A and B are shown apart, each in its own frame.
Chain A
Amino acid sequence: MGITRQKLVLIGNGMAGINTLEHILKLSPEQYDITVFGSEPHPNYNRIMLSYVLEGSKTMDDIILNSWTWYEEHQITLHTGTTITSIDTQQKIVFADNGLFAAYDCLIIATGSNPIILPVPGHQKQGVVGFRDISDCSVMLETAKQYRNAAVIGGGLLGLEAAKGLLNLGMNVTVIHLMADLMERQLDPSASAMLKAELERQGLHFLMEKQTAEIYGGERVEGLAFSDGTKLESDFIVMAAGIRPNTALASASGIEVKRGIVVDDYMQTSAEGVYAVGECAEHRGVCYGLVAPLFEQGAVLAKQLCGVQTKPYEGTQLSTKLKISGVDVFSTGVFLDQPELTVIRKQDDWKQQYKKLLLKGDTIVGGVLYGDVSDSSRIQQWVREGAAMTDAIYAELMGTAGTALSAADRVAQMADDEIVCGCNGVSKGSIVKAIKDNSLTTVDEVKACTGAGRSCGGCVPTVSHLLQYVLGDEYAGQKTKTGICGCTDLSRDEIVAAIKEKHLTTVKEVMHVLEWHQSEGCSKCRPAVNYYLGMLWPQAHEDEKDSRFVNERMNANIQKDGTYTVVPRMYGGVTTPEDLKKIADVAVKYEVKMVKVTGGQRLDLIGVAKEDLPLVWKELDMPSGYAYAKALRTVKTCVGQQFCRFGTQDSIGMGIRLEKTFERIDMPAKFKMAVNGCPRNCAESCTKDIGIVGNDGGWEMFVGGNGGIKPRIAELLCKVKTDEELVQMVGAFTQYYRLTANYLERTSEWVERLGIEAIKAEVVDNMDRRRELYQDILAVLAELQEPWSAALEEQGESSYLFEAIQLK
C-alpha cells in the first residue's frame, strides 16, 4: 500500500508483447501499471493460426489468446485501433494518432513486421493483399466468394499456407516462386520435391523460377506478367514474399535501427528504458520471423523488467513446421547438405516419408522430416544440446531397431526435460506433472494450464499422446467435447454417467435433471436416451414408445407412402415349404405390393397397410424379423458341413443357434452376423458386425466389418475351439458393445474408436470379465418378449397404434 507502481507501456498488442506481459504478471503482478496500444481492433490473437482460419478448421474466436476480460482482470488499460506515431525518449512519453498519449517508466516496442509488398508496377491495384492479419484473412474469405482465380507470390511457409487456404475456399490457386525449390529456406531439395508433389496432388498449381515483372489490369488486378514474357490471368493476388520488421516508429523516434530495432542480449534498445521483442527486433544481426524466438525473448525481457536474475538471450535455434493439414514437414538447424557434414538420409517414396539428420563430426546439427514428423521434438532437442550421434539414436530413427515404436512408447521414452512445445518451452516433465497435479483430461486443459500447444499447435499430437500415456484408458481422445445433439451440451459418456449416478429412470427425468435446452428433446436424443436407460436398467426401465423411431414403435419398416414392410424371422436364412406357403398366402390375401428376397437371406413383404399389420402378424404366426430395429437383423449362413463338400463346420446350425440366442436385444445400432462353414467365406463374414469362419479345429471370430456406405473389413478378434466358447464370446463381445458404444455407432466405428486390442483385452483375455459380460447379456435376453405376439396380446395397444378413428 502506498507504493507507486511504475508505468509500463507496450506498443503492439500481438503475441510477442502480450507474452512478455504474461510473464511479468506471473513474476511480479504488483509492480507495474500497464497500458497497451494496438493498431488492430481486436484483443490479442494467435497470428500463426490465421492459416487455420483461412482453411476453415478454426474460427476467429478460436484463435483469440487473451479475451477482453483478461485485460480487465489484470487491470491493463487497452487501447485498440490506436497507432503510436512517436516516442519522446527524453520525456518518456508516447503519442498516438488519435491524440492519446501516455507516460512510461518502461516501454516495450513489439510492433512486429509487415508483409513485403513487391514494388512491381500495378502492386497498388485492387485485389492485391498481403497475408498478415485478420483483415487480410477477411479479405481472402470475401474474395473467394466472388472470384475464381488466385495467385500467391511466394512459395515459402506463409505463401503455401495462404495458397492452401484459398484452395480450400474453392479458388483455383497458382503459387509463383522465384526459386527452384519450395520453402528453400527451410527444406532441402528432396523434401521440397515431395512437398510440391503432395500439394499438386491436393490441387495447387506451381510456377517455379518465375519473377513477377508486372501486375496488369484496370482498377482491379487481371493478371501477372513475368520477366520471361509469360503471363498468368488472375483476379486476386496474395503477396507472401516475406516480412519486414516494422521499425518506422523506432527510427522516427531516434532509436537505433538496422534491419530491425537493435537490441542487446536483454532486449534493451539504444534508448534508456526502451525495449523491443519479437519480429521488430534485431538481435546479434538476426531478425526472426517465427514464433519460438519471440517467446524466448519475452521470457528474458520479463525477468529483466521484474529484477529477476536471468541468463542473457543468445539467439534461437530455429525449426519450422508447415501448418497445412495432411502435410507434415519439419526442419531444424542446418538442413542443406554440405561437404563437411555427414548426412544420414532415408527416403521412402511409397510411404511418402523422408528423414534426414546432419552431423558435424559426431554432433547432430540439423534435421529434416517429411511425412512423419513425430520425431521432431527429439531432433530439436538433440540439435539444441549438440548431442552426439549414437548407435541407439541411429537404430531408432532409421527404423532398424526392429518394430517401430508406437507413439505411446515414444512419449514414454522421452526424457523429462525434453521440450514438447518448442514455441513456449514446455517440457514433457512439466506437462506430465500438470496432468497429474490438476487431473487434466483434455488437450485444451493442458493448453490452458501449461501453455503447451497454444501457439503453432504442432505439438498437439504429442500432448495428446502424453495424456494417453498418463491417463491410459481414461483418456477420451483429443476431440473437443460436443453434446449428442443440439438439445444438450453433454456428451454420451456424461449422460450415461449422470443416469447412473443420479439414478434417473425416464427420458423426461433425464432431460429435466440434466437441463436439456429443449425440454422434450428431438428425434436424435430421445431414442438415444431411451436406449441408454434400457441398457443401464434392463429390468427397471420401461421402454418408452413415444421416444422410439416409428419403425421400432410399429415393429415394421415404414415406406414413403405410409405403408409398411413386414419381414418374418428366417433363422439362419432357412425356411420350410410350409412357412413359404404361409408367407405366400398372406402376401396374396393382404395384397402386398412386392415380395423381395433381402440381402440378409429373408423375405420382405412390401406394402402392407398400417391397420393390416396386426392381422398379417397373426396370420403369419412367425416371430418378427426385426428388419426395422437397432438389434440383431440377420445371421447369414453358407450351406456348410451338412451339404457342402468343402464345409468343415455346421454353419447353418451355428447361425440358427446364434440368431435364436441373441435376437430381440436392443443395441446401439443395427447388427448383422454371418457364419461360414469353411474359410471360403461364402456368407461374407468380412463385412459383418460379427463374422464367423469355421475351420477344421474350431471357429475364427471377426468383428467390426461393414458393407454399407463406409465399408470396412472385419478384424480377427479371436479363435475358439468349441461351439460353447463361440456363443460365449459372441455374447460377451455384443454386451461390451452395448455398454460402451454411442447410440447409432456401428461396430465398425466403435472398433476403430476403441481399438481392437482394447476390446480383446476386455472380452478375450480377461476371463472373468468375459463371463460377467456373457451372464449380463443372458439376463437381459431372458426379459425380452416377441414384439408381434406381444402387440397382438395387448389388444388395446394395437388398436391405438394401428387403427384410425373412422368418421361416418
Chain B
Amino acid sequence: MTTQVNKDLTYIKIGTLEDFRERMGRVIRLNEKEIVVFRTTDGTLYALDNRSPHRRGGPLAEGMVSGHFVLDPLYDWKIALDTGQVQAPDTGMVPTYPLKIEGEDVQLGLTLEQAGQLALER
C-alpha cells in the first residue's frame, strides 16, 4: 500500500484482509452510502464509490477486475482503480477513498466532513 495517510482523515475499520478477495468487489455500506473495495491480483486494495459515473448509474462492485482497472458490469466502461478516472473513449470520474492497512486490519479513510455527514445521517 502506497496510499498517503492524511492526518485530517478519520480511519474506520471495515474488516480484515481476508474479507477482501482477489478480483472481487466487496460492498461497504454506511447507511445509504455504498463504497466498494477491490483487491487486485498483486494484493493492492482500492476503495471507490459503488456507483458508475455512467448517466444511468448502476453498481461497480460486480465489475470484472483486470490489472488496476475495473470494467463496469453494466456498460463495460474501463475505470482506473487508483484515481477513479474513466478511460477513453468514455469520460467521468468515480470518487475514491484512501485505505490504511494495520496488521490484518483494513481501515477506510474519510474526511472530517464525510465522517460528519455520516454522523448526521446516523
Contacts and interface: CB of A to CB of B under 8 A. Distances in A.
Nearest to A564: B62
Contact of A560 (B29, B34, B64, B74): B74
Given A526-B64, A560-B56, A804 B76 contact: no
A558 B62 contact: yes
A273 B50 CA distance: 79
Interface in B54-89: 56-59, 62-67, 71, 73-74, 76
A340 interface: no
Contacts of B12: 807
A553 interface: yes
Contact of B62 (A518, A526, A550, A805): A550
B66 A805 contact: no
Contacts of A562: 58-59
Contacts of B15: 805
B19 A805 contact: yes
B28 interface: yes
A550 B74 CA distance: 9
Candidate in A519, A520, A553 with the most chain B CB atoms within 10 angstroms: A520
Interface stretch (A21-29, A401-409, A423-431, A541-549): A541-549
A558 B67 contact: no
What's the dominant secondary structure at chain A's contact region?
Answer: mixed
Contacts of B63: 550
What is the size category of the interface that chain A forms with chain B? 20 to 34
A38 interface: no
A311 B59 CA distance: 77
Contacts, number: 66
A214 B30 CA distance: 78
B24 interface: yes
Contacts of A554: 62
Contacts of B30: 807
A521 interface: yes
B101 to A, nearest CB: 16
Nearest to A553: B62
A550 B73 contact: yes
Interface string A787-801: 000000000000011
Contacts of A474: none
A546 B22 contact: yes
B114 interface: no
B57 A561 contact: yes
Contacts of B28: 804-805, 807
A413 interface: no
Contacts of B59: 562
A559 to B, nearest CB: 9
Given A550-B63, A558-B62, A807-B29, A522 B24 contact: no
A520 B58 contact: no
Contacts of B19: 805
B91 interface: no
A806 interface: yes
B58 A805 contact: no
A523 B64 CA distance: 7
Given A561-B57, A800-B21, A806-B29, A526 B66 contact: yes
Given A523-B71, A804-B29, 20 more contacts: A519-B67, A520-B41, A520-B66, A520-B67, A522-B64, A526-B66, A546-B22, A546-B64, A546-B65, A550-B63, A554-B62, A558-B74, A560-B58, A800-B24, A804-B26, A804-B28, A805-B19, A805-B27, A806-B29, A807-B30
12 contacts: A520-B41, A520-B67, A522-B64, A545-B24, A546-B22, A549-B64, A550-B63, A553-B62, A800-B21, A804-B34, A805-B15, A806-B29
Question: Top 9 closest A-B pairs, CB basis?
Answer: A550-B62, A804-B27, A546-B23, A520-B66, A550-B73, A562-B59, A804-B29, A523-B71, A807-B30
Interface of A: 518-523, 526, 545-547, 549-550, 553-554, 558, 560-562, 800-801, 804-807
